[in-house]
Amino acid sequence: MKLPNYERVIYERNPLIEVIAQLRFPTILRIGSQQPVEFQDNVRFEYPIFESSRNLQIPVEISSILNQFSSNIGNDLNYQFKSEDLNWQLSIDQNSITLATTKYERYEKFISKFKNAVEIFERIYNPLSYSRIGLRYRDLIIRSKLKIKGKEWSELIPEHIANEFYTPEIANSIQTFVKNLQLKTEFGQVNFNHGLVKVRDIEQGIDETAYLLDADFFTENKLERGEKVWEVFQKSNRTARNLFRWSITEELHRAMKPKSISM
């Protein structure tokens, strides 16, 4: 990708609904065979709420039948550690460690929290290497929340992203659509899903059309533990910023009230 290098900003009207960082590693059976007591002891002051579940890889209706014949179905335990306000969730299973937040402010704070958790994890479980490094940003452009309810999508999303909005024959008839792009980056690739989706305002009990920008940056090149892992995250963050800015118009950019910040 050869995207322009845009100025780094923080939006007062932030459209981010979720940010996720994940490291995957070769299976560590100890995580699935015993409860993560030591890990919890080290993170419970920041993530005091504990839950566990099973990662079912098959539909629930089928697994319920198979479980009658085998006790090994869906035995991959996932442990979740949540902040008291539920805005942050740290998860581990025998193949990955993941941090997700719905209250993203800036990259430095987010990656610092993940790095601290990974350092604890490495000390306890000693993964040999990482097989996948991923950073995902999910933005949802909801016009009513951004105080631009009267704007047309063609004023907010550029033609190179959604030329449908610029096609008079169908522009006013579009209900929903989602596009998927798989793009190469200098460090790996990105799955970029974007398009019109329906969202529901629970408080008002009404549906609204919104624009989703979902960018999942990752590399599946094996990396040893250490600084190179965090360099991939940093490159992903920088590329995510440029991809998002390239995917919106100047008018939408201004509507979200950007504030310049130092690098």
- How many other C-beta atoms are found inside a 10 Å radius of the C-beta of residue 74? 18
Nearest residue to 193 (alpha-carbon basis) of 208, 179, 207, 204:
179
Length of the chain counted residue by residue: 263
Cα 84 to its chain centre, rounded Å, is 20
Q: What is the dihedral of CA 230, 91, 40, 76, to 10 degrees?
A: -120
Q: Which residues contact 237 (CB under 8 A, 6 or more apart)?
A: 107, 111, 135
Residue 202: the pLDDT is 66
Helices (H) and strands (E) in the chain, counts: 6, 13
H or E segment and range at residue 144? none
Q: What is the rounded CA–CA span in Å between residue 155 and residue 253?
A: 11
Cβ atoms of 105 and 113 closer than 8 Å: no
pLDDT block averages, 10 residues each, the chain of length 263:
92 96 97 94 97 65 41 67 97 98 96 98 97 98 93 96 92 90 95 94 79 97 94 97 97 96 69
pTM: 0.89
Residue 263: the pLDDT is 56
CA-based torsion, 47, 120, 78, 106: positive or negative: positive
Cα 15 to its chain centre, rounded Å, is 13
Q: What is the rounded CA–CA span in Å between residue 209 and residue 175?
A: 8
Residue 6: the pLDDT is 95
Q: What is the rounded CA–CA span in Å between residue 182 and residue 180?
A: 7
Q: Two tokens at 152?
A: 């047309």
Residue 73: the pLDDT is 40
Cα 182 to its chain centre, rounded Å, is 16
3-state SS assignment for residue 201: strand
Residue 62: the pLDDT is 44
